């Protein structure tokens, strides 16, 4: 039985997992830095890399012991080498290289978004071709996944969907990370309170969320100029209206692309895939035209190392190994 130790440190989560054949997750440990970065309203790169340095050894140790493994049981070491914050990536990449060298085991480099894509394989068995909506804090894209590989159909030209959630939350005075906070506030809000603009990017599978962010900021500024600070209810209403705009665009465009490409399923992956309203709208709209929409459990939506390990399994089988010149690639090109 193959056992891969996977490491993920591209942003503010230090994560390690042991995965085995058949996408079986033997352990999945995540040390989150959210409480630290929350003090600053967002991720502070220098602080993130320092915390990765402190966390990486205990997190890997915990992943091994939760899987009932020793270092000597590991067949390969996988690591997300980009894209992400360079200082954060460097900790995972340097650790993985040193470990692979010390254990004399293969090193496998995994693109972070390839990891998000493979997160769907942990709990679902999709048949090719299918459409993937990859939505995280750093990326929004629509991909056609086929047996021969993935084709990027479209992506965000400015803010990623998660970034839009985070920036709108910040404008509303909600803490970092904004996505879960907007989602919680929206539960008590009226999604028809404001019809914020939707950039449909007609004729393309691309997205744009900066106009929506500006519309929310403008609305708040206009209210403030009238001397009206939003109260709790209005914050919930704006959160619900902004969330509706983001989920409306993402779900409508994903379903339209899936229909055009003639696929039977849409995989919703990445941190924003944890959003309940997005799941609901996507499944309603896809279901209405006979398309199935699936997503991973929340723990496999946001950054984790299990998805990196699952993405590494086919690379292990193919002998697609990295050498010790592997580097952290903050702007690693899209897969």
By CB under 6 A, tell whether 180 contacts ligand KG4.
Answer: yes
Which does residue 180 touch among Zn ion, ligand KG4, none (CB within 5 to 8 A, set by kind)?
Answer: ligand KG4
Least separation in angstroms between CB 112 and Zn ion = 6
Query: Residues 6 or more apart from 278 whose CB is under 8 A from it?
Result: 135, 246, 247, 250, 251, 268, 272
Site for ligand KG4 in 220-279 (CB under 6 A): 270-272, 274-275
Nearer to Zn ion, 237 or 303 (CB): 303
By CB under 5 A, tell whether 13 contacts Zn ion.
Answer: no
By CB under 6 A, tell whether 141 contacts ligand KG4.
Answer: no
Site map 278..307 versus ligand KG4, x via CB under 6 A:
------------------------xx----
Which does residue 83 touch among ligand KG4, Zn ion, none (CB within 5 to 8 A, set by kind)?
Answer: none
Q: Judged by CB under 6 A, which stretch of 35-43, 85-93, 132-140, 226-234 contacts ligand KG4?
A: 132-140
- 4, 303, 306, 322: which one binds Zn ion (CB under 5 A): 303
Query: 168 and 213 in contact (C-beta within 8 Å)?
Result: yes
Measured distance between the N- and C-terminal CA atoms of the chain, rounded to whole angstroms: 28
Range list of β-strands (E), the chain: 3-8, 13-20, 24-32, 76-82, 107-111, 130-135, 140-146, 149-155, 265-269, 292-294
- 23, 114, 138, 156: which one binds ligand KG4 (CB under 6 A): 138
By CB under 6 A, tell whether 30 contacts ligand KG4.
Answer: no
Query: 164 and 176 in contact (C-beta within 8 Å)?
Result: no
By CB under 6 A, tell whether 162 contacts ligand KG4.
Answer: yes
Site for Zn ion in 127-186 (CB under 5 A): 136
Q: What crossing angle do the helices spanning 161-171 and 178-186 adopt, rounded to 10°?
A: 70
Query: 130 and 265 in contact (C-beta within 8 Å)?
Result: yes
Distance in angstroms (rounded) separating the CA atoms of residues 53 and 82: 17
Nearer to ligand KG4, 28 or 129 (CB): 28
Phi, then psi, of 12 in degrees rounded to 5 = -120, 20
Site for ligand KG4 in 79-118 (CB under 6 A): none
Least separation in angstroms between CB 43 and ligand KG4 = 10
Nearer to Zn ion, 85 or 185 (CB): 85
# residues near ligand KG4 by CB under 6 A: 19
CA–centroid distance for 142 within its chain = 13
By CB under 6 A, tell whether 183 contacts ligand KG4.
Answer: yes
Q: Is the dihedral of CA 98, 113, 291, 149 positive or negative?
A: negative
Q: Give the three-state DSSP class for 76.
A: strand
Nearer to ligand KG4, 146 or 214 (CB): 214
Query: 101 and 31 in contact (C-beta within 8 Å)?
Result: no
Query: 277 and 267 in contact (C-beta within 8 Å)?
Result: no
The neighbour count for residue 32, using CB atoms within 10 Å, is 16
Least separation in angstroms between CB 20 and ligand KG4 = 24
By CB under 6 A, tell whether 150 contacts ligand KG4.
Answer: no
Q: Enumerate binding residues for ligand KG4 (CB under 6 A).
A: 11, 136-138, 162, 165-166, 177-180, 183, 270-272, 274-275, 302-303
């Amino acid at each position: 039985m193959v056992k891969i130790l996977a490491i993920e440190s591209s942003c503010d989560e230090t994560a390690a997992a042991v995965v085995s054949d058949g996408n079986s997750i033997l352990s999945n440990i995540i040390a989150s830095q959210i409480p630290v970065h929350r003090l600053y309203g967002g991720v502070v790169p220098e602080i993130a890399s320092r915390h990765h340095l402190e966390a990486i050894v205990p997190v890997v140790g915990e992943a091994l012991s939760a899987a009932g493994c020793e270092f000597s049981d590991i067949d390969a070491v996988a690591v997300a080498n980009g894209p992400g914050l360079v200082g954060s990536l460097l900790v995972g990449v340097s650790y993985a290289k040193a470990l692979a060298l010390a254990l004399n085991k293969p090193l496998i480099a995994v693109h972070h978004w390839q990891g998000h894509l493979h997160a769907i394989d942990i709990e679902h068995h999709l048949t090719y071709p299918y459409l993937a909506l990859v939505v995280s804090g750093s990326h929004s894209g629509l991909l056609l996944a086929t047996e021969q590989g993935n084709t990027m159909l479209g992506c965000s030209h400015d803010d990623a969907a998660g970034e839009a959630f985070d920036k709108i939350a910040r404008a509303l005075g909600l803490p970092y990370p904004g996505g879960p906070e907007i989602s919680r506030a929206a539960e008590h809000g009226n999604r028809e309170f404001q019809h914020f603009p939707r950039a449909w990017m007609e004729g393309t599978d691309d997205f744009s969320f900066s106009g929506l962010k500006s519309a929310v900021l403008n609305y708040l500024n206009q209210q403030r100029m009238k001397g009206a600070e939003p109260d709790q209810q209005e914050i919930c209403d704006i959160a619900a209206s902004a969330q509706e705009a983001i989920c409306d665009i993402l779900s409508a465009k994903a379903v339209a692309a899936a229909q055009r490409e003639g696929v039977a399923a849409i995989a919703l992956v990445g941190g924003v895939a944890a959003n309940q309203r997005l799941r609901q709208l996507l499944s309603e709209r896809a279901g209405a035209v006979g398309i199935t929409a699936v997503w991973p459990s929340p723990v496999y939506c946001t950054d984790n190392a299990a998805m990196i390990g699952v993405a590494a399994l086919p690379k292990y089988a193919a002998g697609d190994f990295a050498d010790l010149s592997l580097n952290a690639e903050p702007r690693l090109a899209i897969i």
